[in-house]
Amino acid sequence: MRILGIDPGLRRTGFGVIDARGAQLQYVTSGTIVVPADLPLAQRLKVILDNIREVVLANAPNVSALEKVFVNANPASTLLLGQARGAALCALADSDLLVHEYTALQIKKSVVGNGHAAKGQVQRMVQTLLSLNGLPAADSADALACAICHAHISPMAERLARSGDLRAGRTARMHNGRLTG
């Protein structure tokens, strides 16, 4: 499975692509979309949208993982971050990618083992888990961590979904105490 992780931001949007085969993770690429601050908001969002589309075209991921927006003390900043995240969601949806969303707490817990880990800890664990020669930039590391989180969580989620389908199938066949199918 090839996973595209996105760490949305209006000034800097990180992206990271990994291949996951079972528990084995392999780095493909990562980077940061730097959005010129002097552009009008609509054009800034278009930069994010266009660049994520390019990343998808160049790397052909099967699935994507996106960090959820957190509410901070500044409502205006939260709103702007939400708009950047919306541009990323649109690019992923337009590319027909299934999007999985994770909170920063889920991502850090999955990658570092501590939901309140510092950025530096996330960077070092991403470096270790992907056997990178150097420390990835903060935005790239966060995006890669999002992809790693999905690689860790998705196998269990799929097993749970299958077991739920099996239980639902059994329930559908048992109706009023009789086996119906």
pLDDT, tens digit (0-9, with 9 covering 90-100), for 10-52: 999 999 999 999 889 999 999 999 999 999 999 999 999 999 9
Helix/strand/coil (H/E/C) assignment for every residue in the chain: CEEEEEECCCCEEEEEEEEEECCEEEEEEEEEEECCCCCCHHHHHHHHHHHHHHHHHHHCCCEEEEECCCCCCCHHHHHHHHHHHHHHHHHHHHCCCEEEEECHHHHHHHHCCCCCCCHHHHHHHHHHHCCCCCCCCHHHHHHHHHHHHHHHHHHHHHHHHHHHHHHHHHHHHEECCEECC
CA atoms of 141 and 35, how far apart (whole Å): 18
- pLDDT surpasses 60 at 172: no
Give the pLDDT confidence score for residue 27 in this predicted structure: 97
Please tell me the pTM assigned to this model: 0.85
Q: Is the pLDDT of residue 174 over 70?
A: no
Structure tokens at 161: 């979904």
pLDDT confidence of residue 120: 86
What pLDDT, on a 0 to 100 scale, did the predictor assign at position 149?
A: 94
Active-site residues, by number, are: 7, 67, 139
Domain 2-154 annotated CATH 1.10.3720.10 = no
Q: How far apart are alpha carbons 48 and 53 in whole angstroms?
A: 9
pLDDT band at 161 (very low <50, low <70, confident <90, very high): low
More confident residue, 127 or 79: 127
**Percent of the chain scoring above 90 in pLDDT:** 66
pLDDT averaged over the chain?
Answer: 87
Spatial distance between the Cα atoms of 181 and 179, rounded to a whole number of angstroms: 6
139 C-beta neighbours (distance < 10 Å), count:
23
Percent residues over pLDDT 70 in the chain: 84
Q: What is the pLDDT of residue 70?
A: 72
- Looking at residue 118, its pLDDT comes to 84
